[in-house]
Structure 1
Amino acid sequence: MNLNPPHHATVSASSTIASAPRAAIFDMDGLMLDTERIALGCWHAAARELGLPLSEEDALGMVGMHSSKAPAYLAGLYGPDFPVRALIDATHQRYLAAMEEPIPLKAGLLELLDWLAAEGLPCGVATSTRRRIAEHHLAQTGILQRFAQTVCGDEIEHPKPAPDIYLKAAGLLGVAPGECVVFEDSNFGVQAAHTAGCRVIMVPDVRPPQPETLALGMPVVASLVEAQALTRQWCGR
Structure 2
Amino acid sequence: MQLHLTRPDAVIFDMDGLLLDSERVALRLFAEAAHSLDLKWDEAVGLKMVGLNSRDSDGIVLEAFGADYPVAALRERFGELYETTIVAGDIPVKPFARDLLMHLEALRIPCAVATSTRRTRAEAKLHHAHLIQHFKALACGDEVLRGKPHPEIYELAASRLGIEPSRCLALEDSNAGVRSAVSANMQVVMVPDVLKPDAGIRMLGVPAVSSLKDVLVAIG
Aligned-residue Cα RMSD (Å) equals 1.5
Distance 1:212 1:53 in 2: 31
- Preserved CA contact (<8 Å) 1:203 1:227: no
Q: Which has the higher contact order (CA 8 A, sep 6+)?
A: 1
SS across alignment from 1:63: coil
Distance 2:179 2:203 in 1: 10
Q: What's the CA shift string for 1:178-203, capped at 9, x where partnerless?
A: 11011111111111000000011101
CA positional deviation for 1:71: 2.3
Q: Does 1:124 align with 2:112?
A: yes
- Residue type of the alignment partner of 2:135: F
Which residue of 1 is the match for residue 55 of structure 2?
68
**Matches of residues 48-197 of structure 1 in structure 2 within 5 Å?**
48-102=35-89, 103-197=91-185
Q: Which runs of 5+ in 2 are unaligned?
A: none
Q: What's the CA shift string for 1:22-43, capped at 9, x where partnerless?
A: 1100011111011111111111
SS across alignment from 1:181: strand
- TM-score, normalisation: structure 2: 0.94
Q: Does 1:23 align with 2:10?
A: yes
Distance 2:67 2:156 in 1: 35
Q: Does 1:38 align with 2:25?
A: yes
- TM-score, normalisation: structure 1: 0.88
Percent identity, aligned pairs only?
41
Runs of 4+ in 1 over 4 A off after TM superposition: none
Tell me the matched-pair count. 219
SS across alignment from 1:215: helix
Q: Does 1:202 align with 2:190?
A: yes
CA positional deviation for 1:55: 1.3
CA positional deviation for 1:20: 2.7
CA positional deviation for 1:53: 1.9
- Residue type of the alignment partner of 2:196: P
- Greater shift, 59-68 or 81-90, is seen at 81-90
Which residue of 2 is the match for residue 4 of structure 1?
none
- Residue type of the alignment partner of 1:91: F
Q: What's the CA shift string for 1:48-69, capped at 9, x where partnerless?
A: 1222221111111111110011
Q: Does 1:213 align with 2:201?
A: yes
- Preserved CA contact (<8 Å) 2:86 2:128: no
- Residue type of the alignment partner of 1:208: K
CA positional deviation for 1:70: 2.1
Distance 1:139 1:81 in 2: 37
SS across alignment from 2:87: coil
- Preserved CA contact (<8 Å) 2:45 2:60: no
